[in-house]
Structure 1
Amino acid sequence: MRAQARRVSHEEEEESAFVSMTDMTVGFLFIIMILLAFFASQMRDSDTVSRSVFEKVLAERDIWRERAETRAERISQLEEQVSQLEKERDELKLQRDDLQEKLRLAHEKIDEQDAKIADLKAHIAELEQLIKKLKTQLSEKEQKIQELQKRLEELEAADPLEVYLAQVAQTRREVLVRLKDAIQLDFPTLQVELSEESDALRFQGEGLFASGRSAFTSDKRRIVEKLAQRLDQVLPCYTIGEKSKFNTTCNPGFVMIEAVQIEGHTDITGSDRRNRELSTNRANNTFFAMTNAAPTVMEHRNLKAQPVLSVAAYGPDRPVATNETPAGRATNRRIDLRFIMVTPQRLEGIETIRAALEGLSGDEQ
């Protein structure tokens, strides 16, 4: 734009100089014509010139006149060109001003973009620092994950003894649930619960005995007798002896029962001596009622060839609820039928149990 403007200015200067020279030439011709007219008016007959000179002067006049006309026409053309150029110059000036304004706005936008770029660069630097920090944390987490996975793999390499003991606990719970469902099917209103450790059936409150009593009423005796019959059906698969009916279908984990303990419990009402006698009498009465109803229950033996059915009495020593409320005391007055399983301490113990069960006559493996 600046080069174009300089070029237009230069052309304007050249046109101005040309117009001035043309004006001078016209003026000069005009003076010559006046002088010729003056000399013609002063000419006398004696002041004559030859025809050749006259014709020469006329020819020169015609030439200068033609030149003057040509220059006048040229001047007109140049004036039109000057006018057109001035118009174009004005348009170019407008375009120049418009472009300058656009250039200014563009520079402002560039400045704004530069500021934004600077902010973005600062933000990028912050993000890069954060990414670096997160990568470090991620690396630490991955290392920790690898360590935990290694520990998990070590733990998943199952210890056969732990696997067997888990199977023992699961089998005991399944047996207790089966007994509970069976006895409640026989006596729907009887209050029977599975202990928190899933190792005993709990006959709570007035379920078997009246408060302060150890003797059965006739209807309560029927419950105990039915419980003995149900137990006599379960024990053969998990014990040894003549009545054993072990097979891998009913006992795939080769689990054995060490003892089925009839436990008598009381609340804290009354003297300690009275409560211990009461819990003992209740356990014993339950034991005798069961063995009378199902004599063969005593033929189920543990690994030491001992009867699995046994008796224990704890008085008020092992409460399972508060003794501060009637409901809590009713819960503590109870009979627990606790299953104690054979839990070997070494792998050799598992093999001993397996051999004892597999060696039974009538094995159906």
Structure 2
Amino acid sequence: MNVRALIIALMVTLASCASASKPVPAAVQVSPTTWHQVDQEILAASKSATTPARRYATQTMDSWMDSVYQRTESDFIPWFTGYWTQQWLTLKVSWYKVSSQKPAQTPAQRLDGYLQEQYRERVLVPVSRQIDPEAVMVQATAYYIQLLDQQLPPIAQRYNIAAEQFDAHLNAIPAISLAAPPNGSATLYQLIHAEPLAKMPAYVALIEQIHKAATGPDAGRPDAGISSVAIHSSEKLEASLAPRGAASAIAAAVGRVAGLMISVGMAGFGAITHQHERAEMEQQLRSSLSSALNDKKRSLIDNPDFGVLAGVYAIAGQIEGSLGDAPLLPSSLDSAEAQ
């Protein structure tokens, strides 16, 4: 038994020595041609992930626009064209004319600011509680990253590339590259492995940059249609001030009781006249806002700096540009909807 145990121990020792002296196999070398093919597939995966993200953002903004139209029709247009609203706006324009301390700011510009605020409170804010364009941008960006992540592992498998080698390759591909923030850079590997994505410094910096662009001066007026309505309304309301002033003078001349009767009579006559003109006023307002809202929708979808696809454009453009492809640019709204 002792001899047998000694032989077994000797065999184990010899086997361990042999395995210790055996060299560790080196990683399989991947040729430059193979890496080029891999990059082409990563590029194609990015483009493939962009299409559903664009479709999601476009369809969601279609729903947003429908809600904006409905809210404009049911709330803002009846409010704006109402008789007492027009009386109130006339008083405001009159006050703007006599109290303006900024000669460069006309009554029309001040009325524009007031109407913009009213449109925001009556239409945009209530709609944003259901569909928020900024939230759509964040969701579309995360959706693109998720779809891209799902397509990458099969690429490594098709070319029989080890996970460590493939991860190192992804870690050399920039996905976010911002100039200003200190933590504004991330690789493709870091992006798809961020847990959670919402706390990744470079991703947070990108979303914040898009938000600043959307609320900054380069984004233009929130609603150009309101501005055109304000200019037209201001001119019309200013023109109505003269006859109103004459009626007030007559009422003052005949005394308190008779003056009150004249004022009430003028108000009643004005309400009747206004009712006859209201349908035309509503149609003009509806036409002005419809054109402006369509422009706003296109800007919110296609603008590469602050639209709902700005995050997708930024990341996909960085990845695809680093792989030798032309930077990703927004497609036209028509082609986006057709995809």
Question: Common fold, TM-score beyond 0.5?
Answer: no
Larger radius of gyration: 1
Q: When you count strand as a share of all residues, which structure comes out higher?
A: 1
- TM class by shorter chain equals under 0.3
Q: When you count helix as a share of all residues, which structure comes out higher?
A: 2
TM-score, with length taken from structure 2: 0.21
TM-score, with length taken from structure 1: 0.20
Which structure ranks higher in relative contact order (CA pairs < 8 Å, sequence separation ≥ 6)?
Answer: 2
